[in-house]
Amino acid sequence: MECLFCKIIKGEIPSYKIYEDEFTYAFLDISNDCNGHILVIPKKHYENIFDCDVETLNKIFITVQKISNHLIDNCGFKGVNIINANGSCAEQTVFHFHVHILPRNDEDGEKVFPILKKNTLSMEEIYNRLKIN
């Protein structure tokens, strides 16, 4: 079964297209959770960042930057949150790589940055486990 976002790209499911180029497609998220919530996706199907090639990642983030600048320069927003989830354990629900852009203003009252539990390991243990040699 083809994924939801692939169907949107093909025009089989309608969307509120914000931007499109040869490699990327950006549209309003229909979750209706925040004014201007935009999804940026590659036109080629990749499940998540783990199988996405570097060239596609570059193109995605060029589009993310272009749209973010447009939101600030032309639409009256003052900032953006850029969010991405990879894998079901990270709360990815649509398995086509995508980046969320949430336009922000000082007075919007939104709290979208996650509140995380405190470390269960020391910073030294975490550092030794995660550093790239």
The pair phi, psi for residue 122, each rounded to 5°, is -70, 160
Tell me how far apart the alpha carbons of residues 101 and 6 are, in angstroms, rounded to a whole number.
19
Per-residue pLDDT of the chain (133 residues; tens, 9 = 90+): 689 999 999 999 999 999 999 999 999 999 888 889 999 999 999 999 999 999 999 999 999 999 999 999 999 999 999 999 999 999 999 999 999 999 999 998 888 887 888 889 999 999 999 999 8
* Angle value at C-alpha 9, between 5 and 11, nearest 5 degrees: 115
The position carrying tokens 């336009």 is 103
Q: Is 37 a catalytic residue?
A: no
The position carrying tokens 């790589």 is 97
Residue of 37, 70, 98, 100 marked catalytic: 98
Contact 39, 29 (CB under 8 A): yes
